[in-house]
Amino acid sequence: MKITRVETIPVSTPLVKPFLMPGTKITHIHSVVVKIYTDEGIVGVADGGDTSTWYRGETQDSIQGIITDTIAPLFLIGQDPFAIEKIVGQMDRFVRENNQAKAAVDFALHDLKGKALGVPVYELLGGRTTEYSRQGWVASAGGTEQTVQAAVDAVANGFELVKLKAGDDIDEVVRNVAAVREAVGDDVRLTMDVNGFWNYDQAYKALRKLEPYHLECVEQPLPYWDIEGLARLRGKIGTPVYADESAQELHHLKEIIDRRAADGLFIKMQKAGGLLKAQRWLTLARLADLPVMSGCMIGSGLEASPSAHLMVADQWASQFTHENLGPLIINSQWENDEQRITEDIATQVPIFKDGKLYPNEGPGFGIDLNEQFINAHLTPGKRATAAALEPVAVVA
């Protein structure tokens, strides 16, 4: 089998309610749908979003451009789509960074291979360890009242863990956490994500003040480059420190482990550069006896699927609670078992129910593209592009 054509389609999916992060209001997910075609008629698909330029520095345009102009013509067209290790190795050798773009290619190759072999992607990742992955809820940033309400509602809807986003105003952060803890009681697991926006002084003072509310962990309290600072901070506070933005490539993980800079690690398939690289990443976490949480970039049912499959396959990761909630956040829902999501890039959004996520059972990711939705939500002012064995002009 040979790859004959690679398409990238820019799609903008509106959120039913805006999602707030510190300094960011997300109203649309501007993602790229990737389709990899073969000479045997099998097509692998993936969806990758931009959501945060501060997280990986990539955008819809950069993802689309690097795939169409470089990755597809150099490493995909005319190649065997089953040779995922070889293709990922070439992408890493000749394209620096751009892990979200590489991840979208890796996802589409896994989907294609699963379809060709007639098995779900989790079968390609070692087979099933668990039926579902447990999910925590991520509360949109905001005032105390909204944050408390979101946490109370999440617990009522079956989520055992609630993650809060932290702004720059330390007093407000402490007020919010105290109010949430009082509202949900002592048994609910609470974590906080700073996304690297505090400096050491802010982090130290805030985390000392937050100790009475026993956060299960604080995620990335310092900027991504400050691994030494994470180690120093971790030695002085009682709250476990998780590395997210700091923990990208394997050499970052090695440095975090060597410096004892974290109590746990946060992985996104998109940050790690795909499913193949995510498996190596999780091996290092297991070796260092570091718990992991897996999240999403906020995206469609197709975007959520790679993590949904790996989190039921990987024995190490399957023990822990994750937060891969894109379709629920986009549609402002707590589940999609009774209230099915139809406005999505995927025709079959994987099922979220009682704080649990179940991967689809069909071949590959078990998903067909919702072409009607995609055509209705093409990003205004942008166009689909393609690379192929024969020169191709414009797709749509």
Contacts with Mg ion in 21-50 (CB under 5 A)?
none
Mention every residue, 6+ apart, whose C-beta is less than 8 A from residue 225: 246
At residue 289, φ and ψ (nearest 5 deg) are 55, 40
Nearest distance in Å: CB 253, Mg ion: 15
Nearest distance in Å: CB 219, Mg ion: 5
Which is closer to Mg ion, CB of 67 or CB of 210? 210
Which is closer to Mg ion, CB of 6 or CB of 138? 138
Per-residue binder mask for Mg ion (CB under 5 A), 236-275, x = binder? --------x-------------------------------
Q: Which of 306, 285, 275 is nearest to 133 (CA)?
A: 306
CA–CA separation, 362 vs 351, rounded Å? 13
At residue 121, φ and ψ (nearest 5 deg) are -60, -35
Q: Binding to Mg ion by residue 193, rule CB under 5 A? A: yes
**Shortest Cβ contact with Mg ion: which residue?**
244
Which is closer to Mg ion, CB of 44 or CB of 196? 196
Nearest distance in Å: CB 48, Mg ion: 17
Angle between helices 170-184 and 200-210 (to 10 degrees): 30
SS3 273: coil
Q: How far from chain centre, in Å, is Cα 301?
A: 12
Tokens of 366: 């078990």
Nearest distance in Å: CB 208, Mg ion: 21
Question: Which range of residues in 12-20, 211-219, 280-288, 357-365 is near Mg ion by CB under 5 A?
Answer: 211-219
Which is closer to Mg ion, CB of 166 or CB of 345? 166
Which is closer to Mg ion, CB of 58 or CB of 219? 219
Nearest distance in Å: CB 266, Mg ion: 5
At residue 52, φ and ψ (nearest 5 deg) are -145, 105
Tokens of 264: 């746990």
Tokens 């002085």 -> residue: 236
Size of residue set near Mg ion by CB under 5 A: 3
Q: Binding to Mg ion by residue 314, rule CB under 5 A? A: no
Contact 160, 149 (CB under 8 A): no
Which is closer to Mg ion, CB of 246 or CB of 385? 246
Contacts with Mg ion in 214-233 (CB under 5 A)?
219
CA–CA separation, 200 vs 221, rounded Å? 8
* Cβ count within 10 A of residue 319: 12
Which is closer to Mg ion, CB of 193 or CB of 226? 193
Question: Which range of residues in 13-21, 91-99, 169-177, 190-198 is near Mg ion by CB under 5 A?
Answer: 190-198
- Which residues would be at the binding site for Mg ion (CB under 5 A)? 193, 219, 244
